[in-house]
């Protein structure tokens, strides 16, 4: 996700169940309230929402908990380049910073007090994703052997290469078995998957818009993969049933603003996503219980 600029605009919420016979319509969008007027790249922790926003030069990292917003990384300390990746307990966040000409993965504590770089040998590309046991982080990037998808041990040690070739924006399934990611970036990118042990998982042919802060997220149940599809200005959410490998459209949105990043609430009840035009905001879609 490129760093985005824009004035303030209230986040929004889309309230409706997504597993009805009809797609959810644009008119059902309502604000998702955050104390910040401008919010991008939403990611949920256990009981918090993290997002990118700016109170000065560059986007910093904010956390909303119990209605209070706290800036835990100032953009003046280093502009964040990609959507944050929040650990399963919400106590740590993986962010991407540009240092010495490379994009590097940095772990930041949820209160912003501590931070450290990991896998400094990988020039990171795209967002990252935590394993459900919080022992690994998956990320795309390039090392001395070239581009690939990697598992990085959080406690330290050598990264494990899972895939060779272009691979960005991973999403890790709740049962820990599957990692979805995007392949070669052109106007669109193929949505691909690999098992956590490196063995392939063949998905149906699906393409998603290139760029952005991650175009797929697993349902908390692990039974489905929600992904964004369509050209800029005509983007909608689709759901892939992982048992049948069949997809169906679950929204029919008409706003021409570009969507970049989204997440699913920990209870599986809603999708939260950003929209970028001259301003930036967040909206929600309700999922069934």
Please write the tens of the pLDDT for every residue from 74-94. 887 888 888 999 999 999 999
Please write the tens of the pLDDT for every residue from 99-156. 888 899 999 999 888 999 999 999 999 999 999 999 999 999 999 999 999 999 999 9
- Judge whether 265 lies within some domain: no
- Judge whether 52 lies within some domain: yes
- Judge whether 37 lies within some domain: yes
Q: In which domain, by residue range, is 213 found?
A: 13-251+275-286
| 105 vs 3: CA distance, rounded Å | 16
What is the CB-side half-sphere exposure of residue 287 using CA atoms within 13 A?
20
| 182 vs 197: CA distance, rounded Å | 18
Q: What is the CA radius of gyration of the chain?
A: 17
| 148 vs 226: CA distance, rounded Å | 23
- Judge whether 259 lies within some domain: no
- Judge whether 56 lies within some domain: yes
What is the CB-side half-sphere exposure of residue 268 using CA atoms within 13 A?
12
Q: 192: pLDDT confidence band, cut at 50, 70 and 90?
A: very high
Q: 55: pLDDT confidence band, cut at 50, 70 and 90?
A: low
Cross-strand pairs, 161: 150
In the prediction, which pLDDT does 16 show?
42
Average pLDDT (13-19) is 49
Q: How many domains does the chain have?
A: 1
- Judge whether 205 lies within some domain: yes
Q: 3: pLDDT confidence band, cut at 50, 70 and 90?
A: very low
Please write the tens of the pLDDT for every residue from 106-121. 999 998 889 999 999 9
- Judge whether 6 lies within some domain: no
- Judge whether 266 lies within some domain: no
Q: 98: pLDDT confidence band, cut at 50, 70 and 90?
A: confident
Average pLDDT (171-182) is 97
What's the CATH number where 69 sits?
2.120.10.30
């Amino acid at each position: 996700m490129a760093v985005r600029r824009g004035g303030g605009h209230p986040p929004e919420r889309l309230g409706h169940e997504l597993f009805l016979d009809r797609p959810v319509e644009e008119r059902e969008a309502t604000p998702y309230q955050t104390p910040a007027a401008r919010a991008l790249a939403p990611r949920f922790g256990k009981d918090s929402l993290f997002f990118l926003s700016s109170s000065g030069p560059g986007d910093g990292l904010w956390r909303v908990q119990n209605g209070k917003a706290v800036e835990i990384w100032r953009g003046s300390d280093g502009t964040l380049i990609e959507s944050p990746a929040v650990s399963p307990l919400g106590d740590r966040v993986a962010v991407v910073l540009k240092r010495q000409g490379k994009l590097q993965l940095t772990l930041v504590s949820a209160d912003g007090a501590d931070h450290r770089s990991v896998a400094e040998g990988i020039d990171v590309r795209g967002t990252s994703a935590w394993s459900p046991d919080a022992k690994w982080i998956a990320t795309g990037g390039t090392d001395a052997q070239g581009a690939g998808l990697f598992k990085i041990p959080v406690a330290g040690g050598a990264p494990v290469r899972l895939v060779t070739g272009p691979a960005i924006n991973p999403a890790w399934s709740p049962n820990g078995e599957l990692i979805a990611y995007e392949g070669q970036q052109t106007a669109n990118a193929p949505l691909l998957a690999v098992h956590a042990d490196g063995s392939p998982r063949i998905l149906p042919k699906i393409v998603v818009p290139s760029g952005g802060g991650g175009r797929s997220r697993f349902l908390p149940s692990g039974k489905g993969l929600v992904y964004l599809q369509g050209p800029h200005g005509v983007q909608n959410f689709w759901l892939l049933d992982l048992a049948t490998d069949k997809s169906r459209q679950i929204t029919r949105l008409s706003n021409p603003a570009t969507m970049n990043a989204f997440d699913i609430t920990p209870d599986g009840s809603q999708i939260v996503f950003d929209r970028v035009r001259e301003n930036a905001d967040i909206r929600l879609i309700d999922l069934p219980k």
